[in-house]
Amino acid sequence: MNRYIVVIDDSPTIRVSVEMALKQMGLPIVQAENGQDALDKISKIKGDGDDVAICISDINMPVMNGLEFIAEFRKVDKFAPVVVLTTEAEKDMIQKGKEAGASGWIIKPFQAEDLLNVVKRFVK
């Protein structure tokens, strides 16, 4: 069974840099452009009998934003960690994220090493 890292951001620059930062985790990485795209890809992953190790999600995205995504994701996966990677640093927004079911919050711009360390905490 494969465990996937799902990277959700509308910016390809961010997606690619996250993928580069997390390459050494040795897990397969799936990129998604927005929440809906991620849900579709996750449903395919789970359909193949594989699993989600962790999601790294932006908040501000077209079609389906990060908060909506987390809430929807929690309906199909109660326990997998979702780390938010965003420029949003407002307490209110972080609180909304927690309520939706987020597991961690990283503020952009991020250092590759910091991101890797956070992900390592969640994914053993």
Partner 1 sequence: MSESGLVDIFLNECSEILTNLESDLVTLEERSDDEEIINRIFRYFHTLKGSSGIAGYTVIYEFTHDLETLFDKVRSGELEINKEITDLLLDSLDYIKMELFTQSEGDDLEGTRGKITSKIKKYLGSEPGIKEAQGSDFLNSVGAFKSVGKGERYYSIKALFREDIFNNGIDPLMIIEDLSSLGEIVSISVDVTKIPDFDRLDPEKCFLSWSILLRTEQDESKIRDVFLFVYDDNDIDIENVTEKYLHADDSQYVSEKKLGEILLEKGILTENQLEELVELQKEKKFRLGDIVVEKGLASQKQIDEALFEQEKIKKKIEINTVRVDSSKLDNLMNLLGEIVIGQAALHRIADELDEERSFRLKNSLYSLDRITREFQEQIMSIRMVPIGPTFEQFRRFVRDVSQSMGKEIKLRIEGGETELDKTVIEKIGDPLKHMIRNAIDHGIETSDERKRRGKPSHGIITLKAYHQEGNVYIDIIDDGRGLDVEKIKKKAIDLGLISSDEEVSKERIVSFIFHPGFSTAEKATELSGRGVGMDVVKTNIEQLRGSVDIKTKEGEGTLIRIKLPLTLAIIEGMLVRVGTSILIIPLLSVIETIQIKKEDYKTVEGKGEVILVRGEYISLIRLYELFGINSNNVNPWDGLIVIVESDGEKLGIMIDDLIGQQQIVIKSLDHYISESRAISGATILGDGRVALILDIHGMIEEIKGN
Contacting partner 1 (CB under 8 A), which of 27, 72, 98, 116? Answer: 98
- Residue 2 touches partner 1, criterion: CB under 8 A: no
Report residue 7: phi and psi, to 5°: -110, 120
Closest to partner 1 by CB, 41 or 59: 59
Place of tokens 């995205």: 61
Instruction: State how far the Cα of 25 lies from the Cα of 12, in Å rounded to an integer.
Output: 20
Among positions 36-75, residues that touch partner 1 (CB under 8 A) are 54, 58, 60-62, 74
Closest to partner 1 by CB, 41 or 85: 85
Residue 68: which of 77, 57, 79 has the closest Cα?
57
Contacting partner 1 (CB under 8 A), which of 5, 35, 101, 119? Answer: 101
- Residue 76 touches partner 1, criterion: CB under 8 A: no
Report residue 37: phi and psi, to 5°: -55, -40
- Residue 35 touches partner 1, criterion: CB under 8 A: no
Q: How many residues at the interface with partner 1, by CB under 8 A?
A: 39
Instruction: State how far the Cα of 47 lies from the Cα of 25, in Å rounded to an integer.
Output: 23
Exposure of 79 in the CB half-sphere (CA atoms within 13 A): 2
Residues that bind partner 1 (CB under 8 A): 9-14, 16-17, 19-20, 54, 58, 60-62, 74, 78-82, 86-87, 89, 95, 98, 101-110, 114, 121-122
